[in-house]
A and B are shown apart, each in its own frame.
Chain A
Amino acid sequence: MQAQTYLLQRPAFTAVSLFSFLIIVFVLYSTPVTAKTANELPQANNIEAADLLKQMAIATNTLNYASTLIVYRPGTEPVPFVWKHGRKDNVSVEMLSELNGPNAKTIRYGNRVSYFNSDTSAHSLLQSHIHGPFAHNLIRQPEAIETAYEVIVVGKSRVAGNEAWQVRVLSRDNSRYHYILWVDTSSFLPLKLNTVTVKGELIEQVQATNLTITDNIDDAFVDLTLNDLPAVMHLNPPKSYRLNWGISRLPLGMKEVKRDIHRLSINEDVVEYLLLSDGMVEVSVYLQKATYPQSEDLLFTKDAVTFLSRVTDNIQVSIVGKVPPATAQRLMQMIVSVESVNELINP
């Protein structure tokens, strides 16, 4: 009241300014109140991170759903996808198709994944999942990322029109990117996934714009039979290659999942190859004969993938993967010949 009488004492202070002052006072009073109630919500009905991931894994593998996803990486055009899943005759069927450009489509029937791309002939592979915008282990096999990442439920917010749990997936040793995941509170399906640097800069964003859950299977799957899909390409069983180099120290939770010698499909170069994985991201390490001199390191990030290559003693070493540039550089420094690896293991 004191403020109002003061204001009224001043003749020049018209009703307009008094009104705006009152509105500001009202806004200032009301905002902290709403923020407080929002903070109290998750405390009222909280959920354990492990439970949440488990429920999400069940939901993604069992529900009939369709979702439109936008994948955005700063500096590039957003790419829209349609993602559908259903249970057909008790088998999980899944479809991922790009909405822009050539009609690139991937269909999974059980463990057979068929690729329909404009640049390659249609083919099928035996796979458990489609490599889609959402990191597959995060939404399907959360136990695979446990060693490298810590999952914390932060609270609730609203995404794609639905109430969603907000979950932070943090690299335990800060050597990988962090993730923020939003999961629908009612269906436990993923709605949004941000990939951010340790400093919080956005690297990649997957955002669902709608999510429909149905009792019946989507029309796209009704007429689908295994016979419609291209024949399975059988891969040669992985041979054990012996490379005379290795990586002396891997970041926390990262494992060597493959080593071989193969030819690059585009320019037929022979490379010695090592694939590392922490469950969320894969990192490729290539060793090849350097055909051209390269005085400086080549380091860039394209589509959220970091590329680093260095030429020393006529050998080109390249590291490719969705990891921060600093981690790629550290991996580069950890490459040693096999004798030193053995020394490290059996000193």
Chain B
Amino acid sequence: MSEKFEQLSAWVDGEASTTRVEDVKADVQLQQKWQDYHLVGDTLRGDEVLLTDKSLLENIADALDDEPTILAPTAKSRTVPIWQNVVSLAKQSSQFAVAAGVAAVMILGVQNYNTEATQPFMTAPTSGPQGGLAPVSLTQSRTVQTPQQQLNERQALMEQRKRVNALLVDHRQQVRLQAAQSNNNEQLEKQVNPD
């Protein structure tokens, strides 16, 4: 059954599916689902949804009515005076505080988890001498770097860029010259005999 709906969902999404128009025509359930899927899709896409069929809304309302009420009776809380509302608000806010605390812990946890996950990738290039003294000396040499060294490093980078550029330009020239040399003879022959 769920396989049928899955195929229909794929069909509605315009993906490959075994569902055919005939199937939908023949199956009342599929028709209902077809409508619901499109409604859901339109709502998710933010299209203007014209609810011509209220059955979905009615169903939701019915389901809400059937829902057993577990917490305090609603009728009372509606009639309580304002100061009691303030008290309940205070109570609620303490609940909010607890919830916020939990959320904060979660966020921290997620952040921690994330950094743990990414760290191996970030340190991968220098992972060779992990442990021992090597990493310490490496970082030290970097912090102790004098302006002169930084300048040298930058110059080295510039030099490298220049050398790379020289090779790229030469490659272009070589390709162009290559066309000249390899095709000269063939072309001359062609000029003599155009066919």
Contact = CB atoms under 8 A, between A and B. Distances in A.
A1 to B, nearest CB: 8
A125 B28 CA distance: 77
B50 interface: yes
Contact of A264 (B166, B177, B186): B166
A302 B160 contact: no
B90 to A, nearest CB: 46
A16 B194 CA distance: 69
A116 interface: no
**Chain A interface, DSSP helix/strand/loop, else mixed:** mixed
B105 interface: no
Nearest to B165: A266
- Interface size for chain A: under 10, 10 to 19, 20 to 34, or 35 or more residues? 35 or more
Interface stretch (A2-10, A219-227, A326-334): A2-10
B43 interface: no
A128 interface: yes
B178 A257 contact: yes
Interface string A108-122: 001101000000000
Contacts of B162: 266-267
Nearest to A127: B180
Contacts of B174: 258, 273, 275, 282, 284
Contact of B166 (A110, A257, A266, A273): A266
- Interface size for chain B: under 10, 10 to 19, 20 to 34, or 35 or more residues? 35 or more
Contact of A127 (B28, B168, B171, B183): B183
Interface in B137-171: 156, 159-160, 162-171
B61 to A, nearest CB: 15
Contacts of A127: 179-180, 183-184, 187
Contacts of A235: 177, 180-181
Interface stretch (B19-27, B64-72, B77-85, B116-124): B19-27
A2 B188 contact: no
A47 interface: no
A158 interface: no
B193 interface: no
Nearest to A129: B179
A291 B184 CA distance: 37
Contacts, number: 121
A321 B25 contact: no
Contacts of B25: 2-3
B179 A136 contact: yes
A154 interface: no
Contacts of B50: 16
A265 B167 contact: no
A245 interface: no
Contacts of A257: 178, 182
Max chain B Cβ within 10 angstroms of own Cβ: one of A2, A6, A284, A321: A284
B1 to A, nearest CB: 20
A291 B163 CA distance: 10
A120 B187 CA distance: 26
Given A292-B159, A307-B167, A318-B167, A126 B184 contact: yes
B31 interface: yes
Contact of B167 (A10, A275, A286): A286
Contacts of A17: 35, 52-53
Given A6-B31, A28-B21, A266-B166, A321 B171 contact: yes
A157 B77 CA distance: 70
A309 B31 contact: no
Max chain A Cβ within 10 angstroms of own Cβ: one of B165, B166, B184, B188: B166
Contacts of A129: 179, 183
A320 B177 contact: no
A3 B24 contact: yes
Nearest to B177: A235
A271 B175 contact: no
